[in-house]
Structures are given as C-alpha cells and as structure tokens.
C-alpha cells in the first residue's frame, strides 16, 4: 500500500510539472522582443568592436527583431554571425522573460601588432589568433615589423599559415615579453632584419638590442635583465649604441 502511495505521489508531481512547463511554454510564445541589450564587457581595455556595430550585425533592419515573438528568434544563428568577427572571442545571445534580447561580448586581447613588409597591419592575440586592424582602434602594444612577409588574409590563426616560422617566433617572443614585468615595460618594438634575426627596441635609451635567433632566447634575455639591473645602474645605458646577445657566454656592448 505504501509503495502504491509513493508511486501515485510521484505521478502527481510529474503531472504537475508537465502542466507548469506547458503553461510556461505557452506564455513564452506570447513574449515579444521589446528591446535589445548589448554588453561589451571589456570595452574599456579593448576597442575592436562597438555596440553600434554589433547591433547592425544582429539587427540590420530595426523591424526584423523588435516586436517579433522571442521564441521565433534564432539565437544560434545570431551567435554564429558574431563569431565570424575575428576580434570577438566569445559571444552569447539569450532572452529574458521581460522580452529583452541580451548580447554578451568578450573581445580578443591583442598581444603584438604586426606591420609586414608591404605595410599591412594586423594583430596576434594571446592565443595565436590573427585580428585585422580597424581605423577606429589602434592598440598600444608591442610592435613587430621589418622582414615579415604578407600572409593569407583568410587565415584566422598562425597554425593555419604555411612556411611562416617568423610569425610563430614573433608570437613566442611576444608571449615571453608579456609575461615578464620588466621586459614588457622596457621593450616596445621587435624588428626582423634581413638575416631574419630579431632586434629589440627599448623604451628607454637609444641603443638597439640584437637578440639574434630564437635558440635559447630565454637565457639571453635573462642576461639582458641582469645587465640592466647590475651593469647599467652604474654605467648608464645611453653610452651604448648596440647590445649584442647573440653569443652564448657573453654580452657584447658597442659604445657610441
């Protein structure tokens, strides 16, 4: 008898939930899209896209979404449109019971700005994605230029590129510099010379730092930090024209 009561109780609860869900579903069918809310959460730090641009993408015709039943709006299609924009890292679209269509955007964080040998400029983000530049926003980040060949404009990630080791090296070097507090503040430019060697341009001082290739580059940059900390603190870095880190066991400084 107790078992029968237990089963009947659960059947009653299931029936109740079914009625409630059916009611809620019916109510959702009557909810209209009354407004669109766009939130770009990192707009203070990054400015690749604006709310106005996002609005034009998801709702080019004001009559297309506003006033439309909220359940009839294809959320997945809107998210797919937004994810086609390379500067957007994540895009989430959802609606509320008040009839608000919400769009939450997070942008990609640029790591280094590339200027290739033809003058074309783009960014690489912290995950290796390629971001086209726009006139509305120029990030104040590390710049890499010089002997950098033009890439396929359709590629979205450095792993999509063939025979472009230079960009992969720039990406590795940029990540290392960004994770070192001192070097991030001191190094403002990476120049690729005709030998495909890396030259670093510091923020302070008029010297050039010849890093060379990427073999054991971390060790050589550690030596550079030691020199800045111990050597230049007494001698002064404005006396030198070039600091050569190419050699394994020594740092060669050329005076002016």
Measured CA to CA, the distance from residue 198 to residue 58 in angstroms comes to 43
pLDDT at residue 154, rounded to an integer: 84
- Convert the pLDDT of each residue in 215-227 to its tens digit: 999 999 998 888 8
State the Cα–Cα distance between residues 34 and 201, nearest whole angstrom: 53
Per-residue DSSP letter, 195: T
- For the chain, helix (H) and strand (E) counts, in that order, are 8, 12
On the question of pLDDT at 64 being above 90, the answer is no
DSSP annotation of 230: I
pLDDT digits (tens, 9 = 90+) for 154-212: 889 999 998 889 999 999 999 999 999 999 999 999 999 999 999 999 988 778 999 99
pLDDT interval class at 11 (50, 70, 90): low
Q: Residue 100 to residues 36, 65, 66, 181: CA-CA distances in angstroms?
A: 6, 11, 10, 43
User: Helix axis angle, 217-226 relative to 165-178, nearest 10°?
Assistant: 40
Tokens matching residue 72: 């009839």
Whole-model pTM? 0.81
**For residue 236, what pLDDT is reported?**
62
Domains of the chain: 35-107 (3.10.20.310), 110-255 (3.40.50.11690)
């Amino acid at each position: 008898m107790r078992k029968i009561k237990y089963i009947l109780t659960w059947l009653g609860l299931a029936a109740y939930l079914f009625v409630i869900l059916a009611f809620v579903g019916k109510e959702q069918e009557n909810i209209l899209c009354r407004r669109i809310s766009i939130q770009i959460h990192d707009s203070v730090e990054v400015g690749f896209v604006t709310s106005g641009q996002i609005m034009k993408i998801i709702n080019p015709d004001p009559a297309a979404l506003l006033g439309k039943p909220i359940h009839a709006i294809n959320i997945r299609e809107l998210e797919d449109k937004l994810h086609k924009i390379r500067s957007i890292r994540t895009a989430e679209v959802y609606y509320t019971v008040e009839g608000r269509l919400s769009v939450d955007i997070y942008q990609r964080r640029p790591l280094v700005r590339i200027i290739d040998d033809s003058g074309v400029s783009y960014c690489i983000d912290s995950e290796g994605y390629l971001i086209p530049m726009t006139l509305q926003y120029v990030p104040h980040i590390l710049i890499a230029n010089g002997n950098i060949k033009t890439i396929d404009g359709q590629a979205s990630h450095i792993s999509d590129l063939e025979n472009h080791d230079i960009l992969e090296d720039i990406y590795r070097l940029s990540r290392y510099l960004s994770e070192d507090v001192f070097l991030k503040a001191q190094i403002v430019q990476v120049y690729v010379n005709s030998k495909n060697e890396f030259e670093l341009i510091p923020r302070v001082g008029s010297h050039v730092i010849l890093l060379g290739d990427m073999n054991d580059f971390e060790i050589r940059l550690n030596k550079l930090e030691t020199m800045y900390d111990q050597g230049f603190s007494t001698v002064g870095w404005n006396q030198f024209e070039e600091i050569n880190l190419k050699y394994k066991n020594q740092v060669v400084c050329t005076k002016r």
